[in-house]
Structure 1
């Protein structure tokens, strides 16, 4: 599993492969996991989910933002998405990454961009979720949340179960709406659990803590065993259904998504859209390689396999080089 995880993380961070995927776009079959390349297509996808009683958290995909022009373009796109949610009366909110808005460029520049986004969303009563990235971006991302929370209450974030400090952070942010995930980046053993069993155990601990003590809990998982555990735990502790929701990725386990919504549970689908889908998708495979089985026939074709083949060759060569 370690090799598989490392391989997909490598692919997610490879700029050449990201560029190739962007050029081929939906010709690679990405429509199975990405809800369109533009706002119009995304809106139709969200309307289809809403028709089944499923809400959406919308991610305007973007990778490797190191130029102010790119960050400003991303900001304008997200502002347009907020307006589209409002104008189309969608049951949806926003998920975004601070790095896409300039965190790797300049902290103050990033805060200004995010403030503009959060302010417009607040005006329309739309929630903004700050996705967490690798450990190097963790503290500045939390700092931004602390700063913006002084003026706005429509902000939440993500707690990643593989970090040792996640228990401390979930207590610190218990009064926020939180999405709890296992984690999708490669982190060193001095910062994060490496063993799947330990990650899974901490994941359950964090979920249970926030269900009992937190504001609102988004449980992001495709694992039916985790879902069944949460159902039983919530029933035992008389936690009302309006205090939590289940989340899954767009295009994954569609039948289970519909089943949970029909059972009366709050359900939210993570809806990515745009041309920069490749890094996002590879991290999902790194996070849980079993996801590969869920979408393999839908997504992978000759061109995809060519990219994976190139990536595998570079990845293996890199590992051999390091060993020598």
Structure 2
């Protein structure tokens, strides 16, 4: 129920509109590295000083207008140039739906090809973030097409999908970020119990550490991080074969601690005005994340907006039941 609640908030138009209107006044600076690339670059410079790399997400998704998708492509091309010009240690994360996947597959592929090609000139990695189940296979298809011409592209494996074990075997020669999964999916395609998801998450991580090209372990769970550290040591897996990843604004002390211990570490750095849906899905993915940023994010103004959105969400559910 809690996961469904946060997913509902992420899709609430009032909440998203309020977040874009008030932006940093709602505390977004705690989880989003600014509203433009210049602010994000300054954040990345600070992370780099602590030996932490960054993967940069120009927030936005579920685009249904060609002009908006083209604008998003141009913005991401600008991010590629900004990273190169600033000389920071960072790469790109993007979503196919932001670049037109819901409009036309070939249109989206063309947009992604242009971005991956631009990044390849600077030997910059591009990660295709995976989304909900309906967009999963088309995103893999785009990866397959891009990989015919470029070697600087990888993707995400979501542990809650039943197909994830097959996918990680099929894509073992790619740089992969392994996550638990943040969308609400039906039981016929995804595990729904935490224990099942955690068990599959660890299985996928171990497989890719042993057989894969490069593994990004994306989690805030210190138990799983401890397990990965021990597994890597016991199996003589060199540290240049994997990294840990966390979201900007979450468990900052642990991020710096892992980097200081000599582990490769990358912070997922989102920026832009369209931040609230992203944040709510992080809470849906793991409600315990709420505790990690509550004091930084939830001001009286934030709580008021969330309360109104929660009311709208609950009224919507009551209406559907009637």
TM range (shorter): over 0.9
1:301 to partner: Cα distance:
1.6
| SS state at 2:155 partner | strand
TM-score (norm 1): 0.98
**CA–CA separation in structure 2 for the residues paired with 1:16 and 1:112:** 33
Aligned partner (choices 192, 198, 202) of residue 204 of structure 1: 202
1:322 to partner: Cα distance:
3.4
Structure 1 unmatched runs, 5+ = none
**CA–CA separation in structure 2 for the residues paired with 1:233 and 1:49:** 27
1:145 to partner: Cα distance:
0.4
Q: 1:306 corresponds to which residue?
A: 304
Aligned partner (choices 256, 268, 271) of residue 269 of structure 2: 271
Deviations 1:209-267 (A, max 9, x none): 00000000000001110000000000010000000000000011111000000000000
1:286 to partner: Cα distance:
0.4
Where does 1:253-292 land on structure 2 (aligned, <5 Å)?
A: 253-292=251-290
1:305 to partner: Cα distance:
1.4
Q: 2:3 corresponds to which residue?
A: 5
| SS state at 1:73 partner | helix
Q: 2:72 corresponds to which residue?
A: 74
Asked if structure 2 preserves the Cα contact closer than 8 Å seen for 1:63 and 1:279, the reply is no
Q: 1:142 corresponds to which residue?
A: 140
Deviations 1:100-151 (A, max 9, x none): 0000111111111100000000011000000000000001000000011100
1:314 to partner: Cα distance:
2.0
Q: 2:294 corresponds to which residue?
A: 296
Q: 1:161 corresponds to which residue?
A: 159
Q: 1:29 corresponds to which residue?
A: 27
Asked if structure 1 preserves the Cα contact closer than 8 Å seen for 2:14 and 2:309, the reply is no
Structure 2 unmatched runs, 5+ = none
Asked if structure 2 preserves the Cα contact closer than 8 Å seen for 1:85 and 1:92, the reply is yes
Q: 1:56 corresponds to which residue?
A: 54
**Count of residue correspondences:** 322
**CA–CA separation in structure 1 for the residues paired with 2:152 and 2:12:** 34
TM-score (norm 2): 0.98
**CA–CA separation in structure 2 for the residues paired with 1:323 and 1:108:** 39
1:307 to partner: Cα distance:
2.0
**CA–CA separation in structure 2 for the residues paired with 1:315 and 1:190:** 25
Q: 1:127 corresponds to which residue?
A: 125
**CA–CA separation in structure 2 for the residues paired with 1:309 and 1:19:** 15
Q: Which runs of 4+ in 1 moved over 4 A?
A: none
| SS state at 1:103 partner | coil
**CA–CA separation in structure 1 for the residues paired with 2:169 and 2:105:** 25
Asked if structure 2 preserves the Cα contact closer than 8 Å seen for 1:246 and 1:268, the reply is yes
1:14 to partner: Cα distance:
1.8
Asked if structure 1 preserves the Cα contact closer than 8 Å seen for 2:180 and 2:201, the reply is yes
